[in-house]
């Protein structure tokens, strides 16, 4: 069974209603092109791509258009987001209808096996450490051998925030829910490495965000 949705500050997951079912996240519109450029060298030549926590769907629609060689499966924990994802993806034949997925639940990898690419953005700071571990470990299980795992978002560098703004954002999250907040990229890479994946060099993106890339042997 899914966990109840967490109480988050308004700034944590912005989704502004647009025409039809579309929701719009200004941050997604801002960061999609830098993410796209950064992931391009790692995107597999063919196969299945699973996006976790697709949000409004603006990212996955852009990815599916940019990488037509892959079949893209968007997902999110919030049923209300699925219609928006489908609306952004209208007309893209390589983008499957969005499906519900709580990626912090144990065992989900068995229902989503043989993924050539799994990616998500802006999720780990919104969930607890235990939930983050589950997301990361299940994703590594769902990948095929040679599959690529890509994570984008805000991270601590060791125990340091990249900026005052990051520190304030973390405090606002933690104030709403003491279980959640920023994780260090080293902690994430440690979990992914322990699960047997090889980490590529860290990629710095605008607004102090990081892109972590790992590959399953």
Ligand X SMILES: C[S@@+](CC[C@H](N)C(=O)[O-])C[C@H]1O[C@@H](n2cnc3c(N)ncnc32)[C@H](O)[C@@H]1O
CB 31 → ligand X: shortest distance, Å?
A: 7
In the complex with ligand X, which residue's Cβ is closer, 44 or 57? 57
If binding means CB under 6 A, how many residues of this protein chain bind ligand X? 22
Residues β-bridged to residue 48:
71
Binding residue for ligand X, selected from 84, 115, 122, 189, defined by CB under 6 A? 122
Q: How far is the first Cα of the chain from the last one, in angstroms, to the nearest whole number?
A: 32
Instruction: Evaluate whether 28 touches 36 at the Cβ level (below 8 Å).
Output: no
Cα(80)–Cα(85) distance, integer angstroms: 10
Residue number with CB closer to ligand X (146 or 165): 165
Q: Report the nearest approach of ligand X to the CB of residue 54 (Å).
A: 6
Which residues are CB-contacts of 209 (< 8 A; sequence separation ≥ 6)?
31, 152, 153, 154, 155
Which range of residues in 101-109, 142-150, 177-185, 206-214 is near ligand X by CB under 6 A?
A: 101-109
* Region 48-87 residues binding ligand X, contact defined as CB under 6 A: 52-55, 59, 76-78, 81
SS3 state of residue 92:
coil
Q: What is the 3-state secondary structure (H, E, C) of 149-161?
A: EEEEEECEECCEC
Minimum gap (Å) between residue 199 Cβ and ligand X: 21
* Residues of this chain that bind ligand X (CB under 6 A): 12-13, 25, 28, 52-55, 59, 76-78, 81, 101-104, 121-123, 126-127
């Amino acid at each position: 069974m899914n966990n109840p949705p967490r109480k988050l500050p308004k700034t944590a997951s912005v989704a502004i209603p647009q025409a039809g079912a579309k929701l719009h996240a200004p941050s997604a519109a801002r960061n999609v092109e830098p993410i796209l450029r950064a992931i391009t060298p790692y995107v597999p030549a063919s196969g299945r791509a699973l996006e976790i926590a697709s949000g409004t769907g603006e990212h996955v629609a852009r990815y599916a258009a940019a990488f037509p060689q892959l079949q893209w499966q968007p997902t999110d924990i919030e049923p209300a987001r699925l219609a928006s994802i489908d609306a952004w993806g209208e007309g893209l034949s390589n983008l499957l209808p969005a499906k519900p997925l709580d990626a912090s639940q144990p065992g989900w990898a068995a229902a989503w096996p043989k993924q050539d690419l799994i990616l998500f953005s802006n999720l780990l700071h919104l969930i607890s450490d235990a939930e983050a571990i589950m997301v990361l470990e299940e994703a590594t299980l769902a990948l095929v051998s040679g599959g690529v795992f890509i994570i984008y978002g805000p991270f601590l560098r060791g125990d340091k925030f990249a900026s005052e703004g990051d520190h304030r954002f973390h405090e606002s999250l933690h104030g709403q829910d003491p279980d959640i907040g920023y994780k260090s990229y080293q902690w994430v890479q440690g979990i992914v490495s322990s699960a047997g994946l090889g980490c590529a060099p860290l990629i710095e993106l605008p607004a102090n965000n990081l892109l972590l890339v790992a590959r399953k042997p």
